[in-house]
Structure formats: C-alpha cells, structure tokens
Chain A
Amino acid sequence: MNQQASQPPLQKLPQQILRTLIIFMLPLLLVYGMAQRHNQQQPGAAQASEQPGLASWVQLIMAGTLPSPPGRDLARDLKVSTRNSLLIVGLIYGLTLLMSTGYGILLYQQRHHPKAVMSQLTALATLTALPPFLYYYAALKLEVLPFTQYSGGTIPLEPRLMGPILLFALFNGYFAANAAATREIFQDIYSQPYKGFYQGKGATPIQTVQLMARNWSRPLMVSALYLFPYFLAESVLFEFIFGIPGLGKLLWYCADFDTETASINLHVFTLLTVTTVFTASVQLSNILKTTLHTRVTP
C-alpha cells in the first residue's frame, strides 16, 4: 500500500487503466462463456451460431448501436429498467437511511446502557433481515397489500407496484447495520468539541450547523456508497422475484423458449448488456466512495 502511494501518478495510470479494463472484461467473459456453452448444447443451436461473437458486440457498442433480440427494443427497455432500478434503490435507501438515522439517534441517547442497546440492535437486525417475502405474504393474507405481479414487458414504475418496494425498504438487513453505523458517527461527532471549535474560530451559529452537517453527511454518504452495490444486486433479485419491471425483470427476457425445437436460447447480447450496466454502476460507486473517503480522511 505504501509502495503504491510512493509511485508517481503518471506511472500508475496505465496500471489503473489495465485494472479497470480487466475488471470490466472478467464478468463479461464469464457470462459470455457460460451463455455460449449453453447455446451450443441446445438442439436449436442454429440461432446461437448466427449470433456474432463478443468482439463484434464490442464493435457494435463502440459504433453506438445496441444489438437487440428479435421483436424487442433493448435500448428502450434498458433505459426504462435502469431508471426503475435506480429509483427503487434510491427509494429503498432513502427510507432505510431515514429510519436508521432516527434509530441511530435513539441508540446514541441510550449509550449509557451498552448491553441493552446491543441486544436490542441484535434482535432488530434478525427481525428485519427475515426474508421480506414472508412479510409480503402476511400483508397479502391480511389484505393490507394488493397482489401485484406484473407480467408484461418493461414499463415505468407505477404506484400499484410500490407495495413490495416499500415493504422491502422496511424489512432488510441493512437497516440495523446502518443504525449501528449512524450511532457510531454520532458518537464520533459528539465525542469531539466541534461546536466550540467552530465557534471559537469565529463561525456564526448557522455556519456551525452547516459545518457539522457536512461532518455528518460525508461518513453517511461513504457508507451509503459502500452499500450501493449490495442494494443494487438485491434490488435485481427482488425485482426478479416480485416481477417488478427493472433490471431484474430484464434478466427474465434473457432466456427464450423455442417451442419448435424445445430448447432454451439465451440472448447473449442482452445478458452482456445487463452485466455491463451493472458493473458500470458498481464501478462508479466504487470510484465515488474512494474519492469521498480520501476527502473525509485526508
């Protein structure tokens, strides 16, 4: 680690580019290899062999055209589902953050009873991490939520699809973890005499609040960015389960059953595109996290 820091930045650049390229290409190659192997094993392999290889896909992407499976507009679907997925992640994360901040403040106030706080937090972590579908079933049974499983193409988010999303926001494992993180951030903030320090430096009360809010928000944002890939991956899984039109639902259309040859054809290009979108968003959050982290801890 010390060695890397001591290297001049220009010498590091090719290494970084190579690393980013490999990180992008590795999942793509993995998915491509598996999908191609599958398609070749199927009886209706004719369609699979007609598809051009990975290199031509990269060429097409570079040229600005997104190759779609027959009868579908992949560019439009991808746009809508990516927006939906990001919205869902935003919604879930926003709600979780709000709740966990509130709970973190409560925990901070109870800091003189560490044992009680710890057992409370553990119980909550276990309860909120129970599979959300159980709560969904219970809500369906009690007729609190209507049954919403969308089984069409890709459409923008509708209010009727919000039930499972909100439920998932309420019950996921990150809530308790975030509450603990928030409590630690509060402990960190209040253990240091920021207020007196800023005021002693001559800041007005409003400026003091602003400076303290910056101290709060940056660690929170770093932890948010750390959790972002997990949230996105879980939202994909969750969209897949509940049939909510997002990236998870798009994965459903990556496979196609051919009734004539009784074979399943995987749309390699759709799989590759979804993987790329996913990897890109995760990489972006990684870069942002690193930047923010270095700014928080210089």
Chain B
Amino acid sequence: MKRLLLLALLAQAIQAETPLYQRLSEEQARGTRGQGYWYLFSYSTEQAGSSQRTAVTFQASQLRELLASYQTMPAIDEIYDYIQESNDLIQDGERTTEEMISELEQDYQLQLPALLEEWMDQYGPAMVADLLLLTSPEFPSYGLANAKIIPYRIPFTTLNPLWTLGSVPFAVTSPKQTSLPLAGYLITGIQPYLLEMVRVLIPCILLGTLLGFWQSQSQEPGQEPSTATKVAHQVVNILKDTINAVPRFLMVLFAILLYREFGQPIAFWMISVPLGISSIPLVADRVSQTVNTLALRDCISLRLNQGFTRIQVWKELWVYPIKNIFLIETLGQTVNLLYAETIIQYMIAMDDEALAGTGNKTSLGYMLVRLSRELYRTTLDNQLTIAFETYNIYLPLLSLLILFFLIPYTLFRYKSRMEATP
C-alpha cells in the first residue's frame, strides 16, 4: 500500500515537472485565462524519409480530460507501439480503426476516452499515438512548453465573407467573446484615439494656437517691445528649437526606453504627449505667420478702422483662417498618433518579455500588430504555418487593413480639402 502511495506521489511529481502540466497550472493560476482557449499543437513526423507537418487544436477542457485519462492508462510506450503497428495494418486495409480500438481496450483492460476515439477519426491513429507520447507525463516533451495558445478563434467553418469581415478578433482581455461585429469593433478600436485626441492633442494644439496668436499680437509693428516680451520671445524660440532638435519619434523612443526600464506598462499618453508637445511650436508658427501676413496686408487695421471691436476681429480671425489651421493640425496629428502607436506597439510585440507591455489592448494598432505578428511567426516558426493557414489569418488581417487604410484616408481627404480652400 505504502509502495503504491509512493508510486502515485512519484507520478504526481513527474507530472508536476512536465512542461505541459506546468503550463496548464500557470494558466489556471492566472484565473480564467486558461478557460475556453484553443491550444495549437504542431509538430513534424518523419516517416520513410518524408516529413509531414500536422497541427492539432483543442480546448483547454479537452486537454485536461486527456491528461486525466493518463492516470488509468498502463505503459504509454506499449500503447504507442501497439497503435503504430496497427496503423500499418489499417493502411494496408487489413483492419479498421474501430477494430483496433476494441482490441486495444481488450488487450490492455482500459477504456479509451471518447475524445481519443474522436481524434482517431479526425487525425488518424498514427497522429493520436504521437500525441499520446508527446503529452504523457512519462515522456515529457519540452517542445510542448512552447505550445501556442490562441486567445481567440476565427470562425473558419463558414466562408461567408460578410461573417468573416464582421468577426474581427477581439481583445485578449475578454476570452469569452470570441468575435465582435465590425461596427462594435470600430467603436472599441477607435475609442482610445478619440480619448487621446480630446485629452491631449486638442488641448496642445489649442495651446499652440493661443501661443501663436499671442506671439503675433504682442508685437505691434513699429513699436519697441518691452523687456518682458523680449524674454518671452527668447523662451518661446528656445523651446521651439529644442522641440525641433529632439523630434517626436526620438522623444517617444526615449520615453519607451526609459519607462520600460522603470517597469511600468507603456500608457497611451506616453505616445500622445510627445506628439502633442511637438505640435505646439509648429501650430504657433503657422498661426503667427498667418496673422502677421494679414496684419501686413492691413486687413486687421482696416477692420478696426471700420468700427469693429478687437474681440469681433479676433472672432473673424478664428473663423477664418485660424480654425482651418487648428482643424488641419488636429487631423494630421490624429493620423500621426495612429501610425506612431502602431509602430510602437510593434516594438513592444517584438520582445514581450523584455518590455512591460502596453496598457491598451483594444486599439486598432494593437490588433494590427498582433495579427501581423502571427503572420510573421508563421514564417519564422515553420511549425506553425499549416495551423495558421488552417485558421486563415488572412481574412481578418485584410479586414483590419481595410479599416486601417480607410480611417487615415478619410482624415487625409478632409485635410487636403481644407488645405485647398483658398
């Protein structure tokens, strides 16, 4: 009895050391993350000189069922040999799969789980034998520690293009919701950009507009400016040149390099704030130049002489041309934010473990990088190719790309139309 108990403990210890078990317990420890996920196992078998790559997918619950069935199974290597030998007979047509299963159950006094029988039909006996050997606790395969977990499942069973276009893979944070209609995704995908626009970009551009306006108003032509104005001008000029000297992308890069080391996740503001700050001097310059040009043409003094108050003149200046400058810059900076965010998301995806990650997992850039990264991995990691081609990554990627193209295109169109306004 003691011996049996020891053996059972030993088996448990072996199980705990198996990479697959470790992976599973890690997933369980994380809470709901392991639930309902699809595991993708892919490996190559070499038989008679030719290698064949195969991919298997199953859910976490199925995996647990399989692992539980090992407790009642005798030596896995014997079963493996048995199935492999029978497989030759099945291929020669001397035996059927059902016969093989019933003989196996009789010979070894075991009840094969329904899942394995299902897989026998689905993938063939040879592959099930391989799978048994690979996942068994007695023969741990360290390659399985790297088993790919897909947090979403693209509905590949139907080829209805409308359905496929409507099922953009959703964020990893909600595993239960495997797909979301395009309209819904549009809102969740664009929401972070809109928020940043309202929170950071628009105030920055407004500040730039005010600065430019102040810059043009503080200096009356033909008058000696006060010392305070001179100092203010110098400060503004220095700020302008400094921001010009450390352009937006380096600012973003430094922020990421340094904040990454601080161990905090990269927040959206770390991308939008440098963009916003770098747009201030540009806007200020354009506004002050425009107002100065109008002042030189005597437009402003003419209006004042016609009896308009200063506030009325400023209002007129805002309606045209300052509002246009403001809108053009806002549209341009939004597109910049989209591109900068995407490329920075890519930087983070490049090395998931080294970087702290981002705080945002629903934005368009995140999803685009995530999907294209999978495409990239299929190339790097040849073993996953077939699996991902089965899952058809191209259609969701295409739908995302269309979105990614359409949004900047619309913004660019509005921008160019505004720029063309005389």
Q: In the bound complex, do residue A134 and residue B241 qualify as a contact, i.e. CB atoms below 8 Å apart? A: no
- Nearest CB in chain A to that of B253: its residue: A237
Q: How far is the CB of A232 from chain B (nearest CB, A)?
A: 8
Q: Judge whether A126 is part of the interface by a CB distance below 8 angstroms.
A: yes
Q: Judge whether B308 is part of the interface by a CB distance below 8 angstroms.
A: no
Q: In the bound complex, do residue B401 and residue A134 qualify as a contact, i.e. CB atoms below 8 Å apart? A: yes
Q: Judge whether A212 is part of the interface by a CB distance below 8 angstroms.
A: no
Q: In the bound complex, do residue A241 and residue B404 qualify as a contact, i.e. CB atoms below 8 Å apart? A: no
Q: In the bound complex, do residue B261 and residue A266 qualify as a contact, i.e. CB atoms below 8 Å apart? A: yes
By CB atoms of chain A within 10 A, which of B246, B346, B376, B416 has the most? B246
Give the residue of B221, B347, B376, B412 whose beta carbon is less than 8 angstroms from that of A126. B412
Q: Judge whether A278 is part of the interface by a CB distance below 8 angstroms.
A: yes
Chain A residues lying within 8 Å of B230, measured Cβ to Cβ, are 3
Q: In the bound complex, do residue B343 and residue A147 qualify as a contact, i.e. CB atoms below 8 Å apart? A: no
* A283 to B242 alpha-carbon distance, docked (Å): 9
Q: In the bound complex, do residue B247 and residue A233 qualify as a contact, i.e. CB atoms below 8 Å apart? A: yes
Q: In the bound complex, do residue A22 and residue B242 qualify as a contact, i.e. CB atoms below 8 Å apart? A: yes
Q: Judge whether A131 is part of the interface by a CB distance below 8 angstroms.
A: yes
Q: In the bound complex, do residue A255 and residue B257 qualify as a contact, i.e. CB atoms below 8 Å apart? A: yes
Q: In the bound complex, do residue A230 and residue B253 qualify as a contact, i.e. CB atoms below 8 Å apart? A: no
* A203 to B371 alpha-carbon distance, docked (Å): 61
Q: In the bound complex, do residue A282 and residue B221 qualify as a contact, i.e. CB atoms below 8 Å apart? A: no
Interface residues of A in 199-245 (CB under 8 A from B): 229-230, 233-234, 236-237, 240-241
* A138 to B378 alpha-carbon distance, docked (Å): 11
- Nearest CB in chain A to that of B350: its residue: A241
Given contacts A23-B245, A140-B376, contact A130 B250 (CB under 8 A): no
Q: Judge whether A197 is part of the interface by a CB distance below 8 angstroms.
A: no
Q: How far is the CB of B175 from chain A (nearest CB, A)?
A: 26
Give the residue of A31, A125, A131 whose beta carbon is less than 8 angstroms from that of B343. A131
**Which of A65-73, A86-94, A96-104, A115-123 is found at the contact surface with chain B?**
A115-123
Q: Judge whether A254 is part of the interface by a CB distance below 8 angstroms.
A: yes
Q: Judge whether B155 is part of the interface by a CB distance below 8 angstroms.
A: no
Given contacts A19-B237, A127-B405, A241-B350, contact A122 B413 (CB under 8 A): yes
- Nearest CB in chain B to that of A257: its residue: B354
Q: In the bound complex, do residue A122 and residue B247 qualify as a contact, i.e. CB atoms below 8 Å apart? A: no
Q: Beta-carbon contacts of A139-163 to B below 8 Å, as 1s and 0s?
A: 0110000010000000000000000
* A121 to B419 alpha-carbon distance, docked (Å): 14
Q: How far is the CB of B302 from chain A (nearest CB, A)?
A: 20
Q: In the bound complex, do residue B234 and residue A278 qualify as a contact, i.e. CB atoms below 8 Å apart? A: no
Q: In the bound complex, do residue A279 and residue B246 qualify as a contact, i.e. CB atoms below 8 Å apart? A: yes
Q: How far is the CB of A33 from chain B (nearest CB, A)?
A: 10
Q: In the bound complex, do residue B408 and residue A233 qualify as a contact, i.e. CB atoms below 8 Å apart? A: no
Given contacts A237-B249, A241-B347, contact A137 B375 (CB under 8 A): yes
Q: How far is the CB of B334 from chain A (nearest CB, A)?
A: 13
Q: In the bound complex, do residue B346 and residue A141 qualify as a contact, i.e. CB atoms below 8 Å apart? A: no
Q: Judge whether A187 is part of the interface by a CB distance below 8 angstroms.
A: no
Chain A residues lying within 8 Å of B233, measured Cβ to Cβ, are 3-4
Q: How far is the CB of A77 from chain B (nearest CB, A)?
A: 17
Q: Judge whether A61 is part of the interface by a CB distance below 8 angstroms.
A: no
Chain A residues lying within 8 Å of B401, measured Cβ to Cβ, are 130, 134
- Nearest CB in chain B to that of A280: its residue: B245
Chain A residues lying within 8 Å of B253, measured Cβ to Cβ, are 233, 236-237, 240, 251
Q: Judge whether B258 is part of the interface by a CB distance below 8 angstroms.
A: yes
Chain A residues lying within 8 Å of B376, measured Cβ to Cβ, are 137, 140
* A15 to B233 alpha-carbon distance, docked (Å): 12
Q: Judge whether B254 is part of the interface by a CB distance below 8 angstroms.
A: yes
Q: How far is the CB of B103 from chain A (nearest CB, A)?
A: 45
Q: In the bound complex, do residue B245 and residue A141 qualify as a contact, i.e. CB atoms below 8 Å apart? A: no
Give the residue of B237, B245, B375, B409 whose beta carbon is less than 8 angstroms from that of A27. B245
Closest 9 CB pairs of A and B: A233-B249, A126-B409, A233-B250, A233-B247, A140-B379, A122-B412, A137-B376, A282-B245, A34-B258
- A interface residues with partner B (beta carbon < 8 Å): 1-4, 15, 19, 22-23, 26-27, 30-31, 34-35, 38, 41, 114, 118-119, 121-123, 125-127, 129-131, 133-134, 137-138, 140-141, 147, 173, 229-230, 233-234, 236-237, 240-241, 251, 254-255, 264, 266, 278-279, 282-283, 286
- B interface residues with partner A (beta carbon < 8 Å): 219, 221, 225, 230, 233-234, 237-238, 241-242, 244-250, 252-254, 257-258, 261-262, 292, 335, 339, 342-343, 346-347, 350, 368, 372, 375-376, 378-380, 401, 404-405, 408-409, 412-413, 416, 420
A-B contact pairs, 11 of them (CB 8 A): A3-B233, A23-B242, A30-B254, A31-B258, A34-B254, A126-B408, A130-B404, A133-B346, A141-B375, A233-B250, A236-B253
